[in-house]
Amino acid sequence: MSELIVSPTVSFYIGGLVQWGFLMAFLYSLAHSINKPNKERVYLSLVMSASYSFSIFTNMDTVTYLDFLFSDILTLLVIIFLRRLWHNGITYLYIITGLAINSALHFFMHYDIYILNNTNYWWLWNAYAIGINAVDFIMVAIFFINKDFLCLMKLKNGLITSLKRTVGG
């Protein structure tokens, strides 16, 4: 994929670091929840680790943004389908939000490069390169931190309360 902002070699190493992070998150979550009934983080980290491990078989020279988009959407659908296994905690919210942001960024890059045929570098490309990597690292970090450090849960609860007031009265 010659139009990637980050070179395929650097992309490979960043991807490897993220894969390793999700594997470590799985092992940490597994060890941390041995005698606990709530296995939400174990299941989520297993799904994320498996999903990101498939990129080991991806040829970074031929992959497109659409391939990344489909991968993220498939992972998102699997997590939503398996939702009954967890309790909609902080980790679930961060992973769903992170995958949605990554999907949107992949879609915008695909649209910009393949549909609009844009070859001129502009701010979206920077936002993509920084955004994808930042979101991936945040998704890995939430398994270890397990705190609402971006206040997503507060935002979600505030939106739900606001919607209930608007719809209810």
What does the pLDDT look like over 10-22, one tens digit per residue? 877 888 899 999 9
The 8-class DSSP code of residue 55 comes to G
Q: How many CB atoms lie within 10 A of CB 31?
A: 9
Which contacts qualify for 37-40: CB closer than 8 Å, 24 or more apart? 38/86, 38/87, 38/89, 39/85, 39/86, 40/85, 40/86, 40/87, 40/89, 40/91, 40/92
Nearest to 80 by CA among 53, 100, 66: 100
Q: What is the pLDDT of residues 66-100, one digit of tens each?
A: 999 999 999 999 999 988 777 778 999 999 999 99
| Low-confidence spans in the chain with pLDDT less than 50 | 1-2
